[in-house]
Amino acid sequence: MTEEGPYTPPKIWTWNKANGGAFASINRPIAGPTHEKVLPVGRHPLQLYSLATPNGVKVTVMLEELLAAGHAGAEYDAWLIRITEGSQFGSGFVEVNPNSKIPALMDHSGPEPIRVFESGAILLYLAEKFGAFLPTDPKTRTECLSWLFWQMGSAPFMGGGFGHFYAYAPVKIEYAIDRFAMEVKRQLDVLDRRLAEVPYLAGDEYTIADIAAWPWYGQMARGEAYGAGEFLQVQDYKNVQRWTAEIGERPAVKRGRMVNRVVGDPAGQLAERHDASDFEKGSVVF
Ligand SMILES: N[C@@H](CCC(=O)N[C@@H](CS)C(=O)NCC(=O)O)C(=O)O
């Protein structure tokens, strides 16, 4: 439905630049760069270009967890990409991620630089590079990857589906909100039942499956996603609540959540991270 009444799609779709959605100014039906912009490169081998959305937080939590576990090679520079200003369409960013979405990572530690895009691929790349947060026995490793890929496939229904129609669309469409609310509640129940059996998604160990899922489902469980905590009755998912609270207490998770964050409580923001000591400095915009 539009304000004018029911919508009949025309024969050929055309781009309505002012469709009224919250992110209409950055959404485009074409890929590729809109402008020339070389990305900055800092002193560490790992260069992250990101923002503290749930997909971005996955990677900063992973890097902070690796450092906390003693993997000094995981030192990184985290550069801020302001997606509401279109920085993901700069030529340098598109060279790292042709899909123009954060997070994107460059690894300069080898003879040839390696680019990695898609948050799940970045977690897997880092887990394999450092031999951490990915179990080695085939059964648990496979369980871990199943939950990692489950998260990558499921979260768009929460964000692009439920979040979009509940919070960002210019009109409230009951059919769309109903459809995606049902799906998000089903996903929360999938997680809740799994976490009734085991402490972490892959089993007894905290892995990249938890690191991927926590920024999305933890935020939802705390009622911080799209202002929908009461609507979806998130407090009912007791095992998700337990897992959310426990992981949220990890120091590396607390640090990872701060990196590339430029909204909310200033004490929780670190716009860019170039050194472990940056966390003591608070919000710094370079
Ligand atoms: N499947 C991708 C999704 C990444 C994604 O959707 N990033 C959003 C922020 S959470 C973004 O950069 N949006 C900018 C845009 O769509 O132009 C991943 O997991 O890395």
Distance 71 CA to ligand 1 centre (A): 27
Beta bridge partners of residue 107, listed in sequence order: 46, 114
Question: Of the ranges 8-17, 61-70, 190-199, 216-225, which one carries the lowest mean pLDDT score?
Answer: 8-17
Q: How far apart are CA 40 and CA 216, in angstroms?
A: 29
Nearest CA to ligand 1 atom 12: 101
Q: How far apart are CA 56 and CA 103, in angstroms?
A: 5
- 17 has a pLDDT exceeding 90: no
Token couple for 72 = 């000094």
The reported pLDDT for the residue numbered 23 is 74
The reported pLDDT for the residue numbered 286 is 39
Question: Of the ranges 1-15, 33-47, 106-120, which one carries the lowest mean pLDDT score?
Answer: 1-15
Q: Mean pLDDT over residues 149-172, rounded?
A: 97
Distance 83 CA to ligand 1 centre (A): 9
Q: Report phi then psi at 270, rounded to 5.
A: -140, 95
Nearest CA to ligand 1 atom 19: 119
pTM, rounded to two decimals: 0.95
Alpha helices in the chain (DSSP H): 54-68, 91-96, 119-130, 138-156, 174-197, 208-213, 219-221, 229-232, 238-248, 251-258, 278-281
Check residues 19 and 206 and name the one with the higher pLDDT.
Answer: 206
Q: SS3 letters for 204-219?
A: CCCCHHHHHHHHHHHH
Nearest CA to ligand 1 atom 4: 101
Which ligand 1 atom is the nearest neighbour of the CA of 58?
A: 19
Nearest CA to ligand 1 atom 11: 101
Nearest CA to ligand 1 atom 2: 118
User: Could you report the per-residue pLDDT of 37-86, keeping only the tens digit for each?
Assistant: 999 999 999 999 999 999 999 999 999 999 999 999 999 999 999 999 99
User: Could you report the per-residue pLDDT of 187-205, keeping only the tens digit for each?
Assistant: 999 999 999 999 999 999 9
Of 55, 125, 164, the residue with max ligand 1 atoms within 8 A of its CB, to mutate for a pocket test, comes to 55
In this structure, how many other beta carbons lie within 10 angstroms of the beta carbon of residue 130?
18
The reported pLDDT for the residue numbered 25 is 75
pLDDT category at 24 given cuts 50, 70, 90 is confident
Measured CA to CA in angstroms, residue 201 lies from 54, 139, 181 at distances of: 18, 13, 23
- 19 has a pLDDT exceeding 90: no
Asked if residue 53 has its Cβ within 6 Å of ligand 1, the reply is yes
